[in-house]
Structures are given as C-alpha cells and as structure tokens.
C-alpha cells in the first residue's frame, strides 16, 4: 500500500461541514462593508519579496523569520504574509490615487507565515480586512474602528474590547524612541534576545514583547513613567483627541493602552486592536491603524491611509457551529431516469435538489432524505403515470400529492 500523504503542519483542510461557517463570515463581510462603501479587491497570493521588506519593514519578525520566500528565474518571490502591502502596491500600480477620495477597499483570502502553529493561528491562515486611502482626518480612523465593531457584532460577538493608542508622527516618535532606549539601557542584558535585537533597529517594538521577564522590566515605575508620558506633538495630540471624541459620540467603548504598538513598521499615529474575552491571553481578533507613509515608501504619492485585518480562523473559533443548510428536496424514486429529469427541472427553477444516483431501496432513499432535505419528493409508479408528485414535509410528516408543475410553488410556499 502506498504511503499516505498528510496535510502539512500548520495547514488545515476546511471540510464541507465547516464551510457553512466560512460562508457566514464572507457573506457578512460583503453585506457590512458594502454598506459602508467598500469594494472588494483581490490581489495575487505571491508578490516580489522587496514589497514586504520595504512595506512591512525589515526589522519585523514577519520579514526576518516568518516569510515563505523562493527564487524563480532569478527573482525573489514571497507568499504574502499580510495583504496591506499588496493592496497598496495595487493602489499605486493601477492609478487609484486619481480616484475621488476616499478610496475604500476590502479583501479576504489566505496568508502565509512560517511560525509555530497555535490555537486560531496556522501557517496558512485567512484574513479579512479593509483599507481606506486619501483621508488624513480622524474621521477615517473612527470609521474603520466602527466598521470592525459593526462587523464583529453582526457575527454575534458582543464581548468586545477596543484598545487604542497613538504612536505619533515620525518626528515626535523619534524623540520617544530615544527616551525608551535611554531608560532601558541599564536593563539591556536582562532583555530577551528579540528585544536586544530590536533595541537599536526598532525600540518601540520592545513594548510589544510577550516574554514575561520583559513585561516585568517594562512594569518598573521609572520605565512606566516614560511609557505613559505624553510624547506626541500638538498636531498628533489633536488628531488623537478628535478620534476619541468621535468614538465617544459613536458609543464605542474603548480603553487607552500605551504599550500597544502593533507588529508592523508602517504604522503612525492611530493603532488599535479589538479583543474578545473568549480567547484567553492571545485574545486580539482585529488589529490595525494608520499608515500615512506607506504609499510613498512603495513608490506612490503621499497618501494618508488607515485599515485593519482580522484572522478568520480566530473568528471561527468564537462562533457557534452553524447547522448545514438542508436541501429543498430529495427525490425518492425507483426510476433513475425520471428522477434525473425531475431533479434538473427543479434545479432550473432555483431549488436545491438531489436524488439517489445509486438507485437504492425506497426505504433507504427516504432515510437519506430525512437527513439532508426539508421535503421528500416521491415519484412512484402511480405518480409518474399521473404526472404528479407526493411531497412529504420531513419536519411535520405531512404528505400531499400535487401536479408536477406545482411542486416548486408548494415547496417555496
């Protein structure tokens, strides 16, 4: 017997009995995002490696450790680890900057990161996300946060916490970085290896460390004093103040978290996460923020932008199982030819119909019908001769016989 080839570690088959739940995530995304004026975009699964090095940042764990990169015809290509960089590349390449602002886009699809698989996180995973281009005002930040909450609540998730922070602009953030480095310098040897590597390259990322020993260091009073300081300039502070005012007006509950920096280098000013209390310590279901310099960094014109992404596996883990939708009808007949013809008639009228392709015994067909359909459509010899169908309601056991042309109207009732 040939050796069985199994699914790769960190990947997962989405089986038919699970797909209904994915359909719900996707349908709600289309419904809610369209309501806000967002249009779907679909970008390639692989891009030039340079796109992510320049876009995501060459100091991030994603670029340094987690990308699936391969060489093809002397070119370095990478399976996308996230989709903001790809959407920005498409925005620039397709001249979307010429469109009337705001340009609102949303996406869904698989992403790839080589990291340790854990609950709700795989090496091939799926994200749904939105990006808005062209609006520098905090109204854009407020709308994308509202959109995230609206979408999650449409899925039945109400135990949500929104955390926000402002990273300031490059000018005021640089001074803050220097203060962080200065106050942490005496603790350098006690930091984890990743934090030591980030100390010079991207000191803000130290605040995002999940290692307990580093968390203890950051909790020290002299370090907290720097972390909690209002370092942002007047313009950034005003932007942040207005954002909070909009969130208050929209009745969105939020808390401020000075340690929230997000893991990607392109963020400036607003960063935020939406968390669920049902996920334990790794409880973020949505993360995003403002990235006003990314379009320029990737070769486009100066364009303010803001967006977020959600892991769909994590969302699925929070949702109750969805019952598979039943067929409208299952044809029960010992005449395969008649059942075949009748099934196609009903399918052409928009009904979901199956029949027994193997022509099993009548009782077996009825048993199958009771499991998969709302109605059993019985085509016995008498029904075929009279051009009629006996319709059995499988939830009430009520049975009636009608003319064949009236079956669809009876089922749709």
The CATH number for 346's domain is: 3.40.50.800
**Does a structural domain hold residue 357?**
yes
Residue 130 DSSP code? E
Instruction: Report yes or no: 203 and 176 within 8 Å, Cβ to Cβ.
Output: no
Rounded to whole angstroms, the Cα distance separating 198 from 54 reads 17
- Contact status, residue 231 vs residue 172, Cβ threshold 8 Å: yes
Which of the listed residues 262, 296, 318 is the one where a domain comes to its end?
A: 318
Tokens of 233: 């300039």
Element (H, E) at 180: helix 170-184
Within a domain: 147: yes
- What is the domain count for the chain? 3
Residues 225, 208 share a domain: yes
- 243 inside domain: no
Question: Using an 8 Å Cβ cutoff, are 382 and 401 in contact?
Answer: no
Residue 63 lies in a domain: yes
Assigned domain for 116 exists = yes
pTM of the model as a whole: 0.88
Count of residues making up the chain: 413
For residue 5, being part of any structural domain is answered with no
d(CA 96, CA 91): 5
Residue 165 structural domain: 16-169+249-318
Q: Are residues 294 and 365 in the same domain?
A: no
Residues 82, 160: one domain?
yes
Q: Is residue 175 part of a domain?
A: yes
Q: Are residues 279 and 333 in the same domain?
A: no
Answer yes or no: are the C-beta atoms of 393 and 375 closer than 8 Å.
yes
368 and 389 within one domain: yes
Q: What is the DSSP letter of 395?
A: T
Query: Same structural domain for residues 91 and 116?
Result: yes
Q: What is the pLDDT along the chain (413 residues), one digit of tens a residue?
A: 899 999 999 999 999 989 999 999 999 999 999 999 999 999 999 999 999 988 776 656 677 678 999 999 889 999 999 999 999 999 999 999 999 999 999 999 999 999 877 766 789 999 999 999 999 999 999 999 999 999 999 999 988 999 999 999 988 888 888 888 888 899 889 989 888 888 887 788 788 788 888 888 988 888 888 888 878 899 999 999 999 999 999 999 999 998 888 766 678 999 999 998 766 656 889 999 999 999 999 999 999 999 999 999 999 988 888 888 899 999 999 999 999 999 999 999 999 999 999 989 999 999 999 999 999 999 999 999 999 999 999 999 999 999 999 999 999 98
Residue finishing a domain among 318, 337, 355: 318
Q: Does a structural domain hold residue 149?
A: yes
Task: Label residue 214 exposed, middle or buried (CB < 10 Å: 0-12, 13-18, 19+).
Answer: buried
- Domain end: 271, 295, 318, which one? 318
The answer on 276 and 354 residing in a single domain is no
């Amino acid at each position: 017997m040939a050796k069985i080839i199994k699914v790769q570690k960190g990947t997962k088959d989405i089986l038919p009995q699970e797909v209904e739940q994915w359909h719900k995530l996707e349908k709600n995304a289309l419904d809610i995002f369209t309501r806000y004026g967002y249009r779907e975009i679909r970008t390639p699964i692989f891009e030039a490696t340079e796109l992510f090095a320049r876009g995501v940042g060459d100091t991030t764990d994603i670029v340094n450790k987690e990308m699936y990169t391969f060489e093809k015809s002397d070119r370095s290509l990478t399976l996308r680890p996230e989709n903001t960089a790809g959407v920005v590349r498409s925005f620039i390449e397709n001249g979307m900057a010429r469109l009337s602002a705001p340009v609102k886009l949303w996406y869904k699809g698989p992403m790839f990161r080589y990291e340790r698989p854990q609950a709700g996180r795989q090496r091939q995973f799926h994200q749904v996300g939105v990006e808005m281009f062209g609006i520098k005002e905090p109204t854009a930040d407020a709308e994308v946060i509202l959109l995230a909450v609206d979408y999650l609540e449409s899925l039945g998730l109400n135990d949500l916490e929104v955390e926000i922070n402002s990273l300031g602009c490059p000018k005021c953030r640089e001074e803050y970085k220097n203060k962080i480095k200065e106050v942490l310098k005496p603790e350098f040897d006690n930091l984890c290896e990743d934090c030591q590597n980030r100390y010079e390259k991207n000191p803000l990322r130290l605040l995002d460390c999940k290692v307990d020993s580093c968390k203890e260091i950051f909790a020290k009073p002299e370090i907290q004093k720097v972390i909690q300081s209002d370092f942002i300039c007047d313009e950034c502070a005003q932007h942040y103040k207005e954002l909070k005012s909009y969130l208050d007006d929209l009745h969105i509950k939020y808390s401020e978290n000075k340690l929230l920096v997000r893991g990607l280098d392109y963020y400036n000013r607003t960063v935020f996460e939406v968390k669920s209390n049902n996920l334990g310590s790794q409880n973020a279901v949505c993360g995003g923020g403002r990235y006003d310099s990314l379009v320029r960094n990737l070769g486009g014109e100066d364009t303010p932008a803001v967006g977020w992404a959600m892991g769909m596996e994590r969302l699925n883990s929070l949702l109750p199982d969805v019952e598979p939708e039943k067929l409208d009808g299952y044809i029960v007949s010992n005449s395969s030819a008649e059942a075949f013809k009748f099934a196609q008639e009903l399918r052409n009228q928009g009904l979901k119909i199956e029949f027994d392709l193997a022509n099993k015994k009548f009782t077996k067909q009825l048993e199958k019908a009771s499991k998969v359909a709302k109605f059993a459509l019985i085509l016995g010899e008498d029904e075929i001769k009279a051009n009629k169908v006996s319709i059995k309601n499988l939830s009430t056991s009520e049975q009636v016989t009608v003319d064949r042309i009236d079956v669809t109207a009876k089922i749709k009732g």
